Amino acid sequence: MFSRMGRVLGTTVILCACSTTPARPSTMPTRSPETEARDFTAELAAGAYDHPKTPFTAKLAGAAPPDMLAKIWRGFEAQGGKLKSVDEAKTETKDGYQIVTLGLTFERAKVALHVVFDDASKVAGLFHDAGANWAAPPYADAARFDEREVTVGAHALPGTMTVPKGPGRFPAIVLVHGSGPNDRDESIGGTKPFKDLAWGLATNGIAVLRYVKRSRHAPAGVVTTKDEVEDAAHEALALLRQTAEVDPARIFLLGHSQGGEMVPRIAAIEPKLAGIVLMAGSTRPVEDLLIEQLTYFATTVHPGDKDVAAQLEAAKAFKVTVESPDLKPDDDVAFPVGKAHLKGAYFLDLRGYDPPAVAAKLAMPILVLQGERDYQVTGKDLDRWKNALGTRATFHAYPALNHLFVAGTGTPGPAEYALPGHVDAPVIADITAFVQKR
């Protein structure tokens, strides 16, 4: 759910400790931000993860210790090989910060790295373009499927159809995104979960349709989740039913995070679906999840951080606003993190919607998947699914997996999303088994 607030400059956050007001310098910086950024990159490439030449703000230094920087850089190298060159550089100013974008050329990949400097010439944040160094997961065999471009629905959302090779009509799945203006691969940091799912499932004989979310491709006119999520999912299902290689009696719907929240409502008017898959499907209103996440940040990830504490108080006020009986459809509601604004209609549309209760009324098979290192959608949500669905659904929980269903260790937090990774192989196997039984 937090991805709704996590996008900056069209990229994905690696680590950011930017306050709303940059610190004023005690002395004027003597080197340009571009020079500082190039030196910092050279330090990482040389294994100097304590970056002796490049000062960090105190907040970023706490969030990005040397071992974390080492994991991030080694992740780049694991996917792309050694750094060959630092190419083009561009500097821009945004909200009082200077942002240097460097084009990094590795042996097998290119990465755009964004280094954010405050007014004291200290690094306050790091970003890279989502999924720039993605490589195929080991369980995917590109020789066993074909991909082709398609468009989905009235807004011509760009999509990709991944179809197994061979004769016959195949079972198929539509993928429904988590929150935020996602691309077709649901790219986040060093991962592309939807591309992993598509390639892994197609390798196992299941066709997959994924597409760019409307809030990214055609955001004008998006007011409620019907506009944002549901309409496109219905249109994607209709497209699969018209696809020659697809068995129309074996079409499934898979939702991740916000997608998992909305899939029961979509499925309620799609009774011919063969089944639904809920991956980290949220069951509670966004205002409650937001307070829970910020409380986790304030107590575990960034204890004592005044900015996080302020965001938590803003989230509590946000909850009062969106749950007020006086909320009107045209009211402008500011999100407590970031600069997003939504209309009151968005929250009124979801008021009273209980995903597990709706799912319990469905006649189709249901698969529920949950990572136990997920701090965004947690065991509280899994328990609500279990209480509502009981034995009529299949449940799998994965102790090592985070919200993206990527394996990790230690205290979970947003910084690990920067590390290259893939949806874990057992997740692909469990979805495959669920589909192939139908």
In 190-220, which positions are buried (b, 16+ CB within 10 angstroms) versus exposed (e)? bbbbbbbbbbbbbbbbbbbbbbbbbbbbbee
156 Rama sector, left if φ>0, alpha if ψ -120 to 50, beta otherwise: left
Separation CA 173–CA 274 (nearest Å) = 10
Separation CA 414–CA 412 (nearest Å) = 7
Closest CA to 54 of 96, 100, 89, 12: 100
Separation CA 419–CA 415 (nearest Å) = 8
DSSP code of residue 222:
-
Question: Annotated catalytic residue: which of 121, 179, 257, 282?
Answer: 257
Question: Annotated catalytic residue: which of 128, 155, 217, 403?
Answer: 403
The token duo for 376 is 């965004």
CA distance from start to end of the chain: 31
Q: Active site includes 403?
A: yes
Would you say the C-alpha torsion 392, 393, 394, 398 has a positive or negative sign?
negative
Q: Active site includes 257?
A: yes
Q: Strand 341-343 to strand 83-94: parallel, antiparallel, or no bridges (unpaired)?
A: unpaired
Separation CA 344–CA 333 (nearest Å) = 6
Note the residue count of the chain. Answer: 438
Separation CA 342–CA 349 (nearest Å) = 12
What string of DSSP letters covers 63-121? HS-HHHHHHHHHHHHHHH-SEEEEEEEEEEEETTEEEEEEEEEESS-EEEEEEEE-TTS
Q: What stretches of 268-372 show up as alpha helix (H) in DSSP?
A: 286-296, 306-322, 344-350, 355-360
Q: Active site includes 374?
A: yes
Separation CA 91–CA 99 (nearest Å) = 6
The token duo for 190 is 């060093």
CB atoms within 10 A of CB 300: 12
Q: Strand 170-176 to strand 207-211: parallel, antiparallel, or no bridges (unpaired)?
A: parallel
DSSP code of residue 330:
T
Task: Give the orientation angle of helix 33-45 with respect to helix 66-80, to 10 degrees.
Answer: 80
Question: Annotated catalytic residue: which of 118, 227, 349, 374?
Answer: 374
Which residues are catalytically annotated?
Answer: 257, 374, 403
